[in-house]
Amino acid sequence: MNQHQDERTRIREAMNRLLAGKATASNGSFTAAALAAEAGVHRMALYKRHADLKNEFDERVRKETRQVPETEKQLRATVARLKKTIANQKTELEELRQLVTNLTLASAVLSEGRQLPTEPAPLPDNVLPFRPPTT
């Protein structure tokens, strides 16, 4: 039996022990890390060479124990957090758009009030201009 087949056999046996609640080399949790420890294989070997067995383990955990695998729980929590972040950003974006509209209107009102008169204001009698007005 080659090393690859030996690893697969150990992983299947570890899978059965974990699901039976009889872990010997791990903490007994239903995670890929516990499965790898229980089987005596490197965790990355489980993810890279034996991904099908890892997926089978997750499926068996879901069916036989009626539990959600830890990786799925983490993904669901991440998705929920990201959805909340998106909702907050949408609210903030809408508030900023409203603020831009209000500032644009305020700027227009202020600009309208500062229009320069078409004719210069008359000078008081006691003021002499530096240059005579050109008309």
- Looking at residue 25, its pLDDT comes to 83
From the CB of residue 56, how many other CB atoms can be counted at a distance below 10 Å?
14
Q: Pseudo-torsion of CA 66, 68, 70, 71, nearest 10°? A: 140
Q: Would you say the pTM of this structure is higher than 0.75?
A: no
Give the distance from CA 1 to its chain's centroid. 45
Q: Is the pLDDT of residue 81 over 80?
A: yes
* pLDDT tens per residue, range 7-64: 899 999 999 998 888 888 888 888 888 999 999 999 998 889 999 999 999 888 888 8
